[in-house]
Amino acid sequence: MSDTKPNITVDVDVTNPGQFFACCGLLELADRLRPGAEGWFENGQFQLGFVDGQVVSVSELLDEVLSCSVESVPGPDLKTTPIYLGGRIKIQLDWWLRPDGKTNLFKTWAANANSRQMFCKWHDPLKGKMNIVASNTQGLLSLSERVQGSYGFDSDLGWDALSVGFSFNEHADLKNLPTRPAVELLGAIGLQRFFPVFKEKEQVVEYATWHIRLGAPVARVAALGRFPEAVMHKLRTRFVYRGRFKGLDRATII
């Protein structure tokens, strides 16, 4: 582990699963683009540090995501096929699939969308916020935009929708709920390596935050709660249903 001060600081509510996974996504990007990067949670924030005194901005990390190629991996069902992010990132995303190729509960998008469309739909909304990101990195995960649909792991969005039933077909005026493009895009990347403890039969999800500076491979172990010395909090959430749509509820510390 390095002794350098954090280079990037982002405000985070770790009881919101989407914000937690988005922080994991930032660490994943940092690890792939700047090997040796380390991340940790501290005082309501997620910190990123880089080796050898490197100065890296959130904008640099996000630019790589926004400019990389996004290709569907050939498969039997275009709606749920894995996607591959090219450029310098080079990662395949398929966290919504079980080992047998069938979808798990994390596949939340409707039948009229496919996995590539779900990932790419956040590009333009986030591009439109990049000037704000550059001037207010800490508020990255709070930036919102009215976009139809969501991956379902931003629990704040779920609570807003829950109060009215969360059926877009029944509430046409809610088809453009204020979603958070950085949470959606980064969370989709973070879930690949940092897929949580998932009790699918009980529809329960568990994850953990860590307070020690860790690179992505070891942080993955901490996020599962299997690195006791590093764990700060263990959290539990579950899938909730809003009409025909489902998503993760706000987590509680256990």
> pLDDT per residue over 23-39, tens digit each?
999 999 999 999 999 99
What pLDDT is stored for residue 163 in this prediction?
A: 39
Q: Is the pLDDT of residue 174 over 60?
A: no
Look up the pTM and report it.
0.91
Q: Is the pLDDT of residue 254 over 70?
A: yes
What pLDDT is stored for residue 158 in this prediction?
A: 53
Q: Between these two residues, 242 and 81, which has the higher pLDDT value?
A: 81
The number of residues in the chain equals 254
What pLDDT is stored for residue 215 in this prediction?
A: 97
- Mind listing the pLDDT tens digit for each residue in 100-148? 999 999 999 887 889 999 999 999 999 999 999 999 999 999 999 988 8
Which among 98, 101, 95, 99 has a CA at the least distance from the CA of 115? Answer: 95
Q: How many Å apart are CA 183 and CA 186, to the nearest integer?
A: 5
Q: How many Å apart are CA 209 and CA 10, to the nearest integer?
A: 14
> Stretch 140-158: mean pLDDT, rounded?
89
| H or E element at residue 199 | strand 197-199
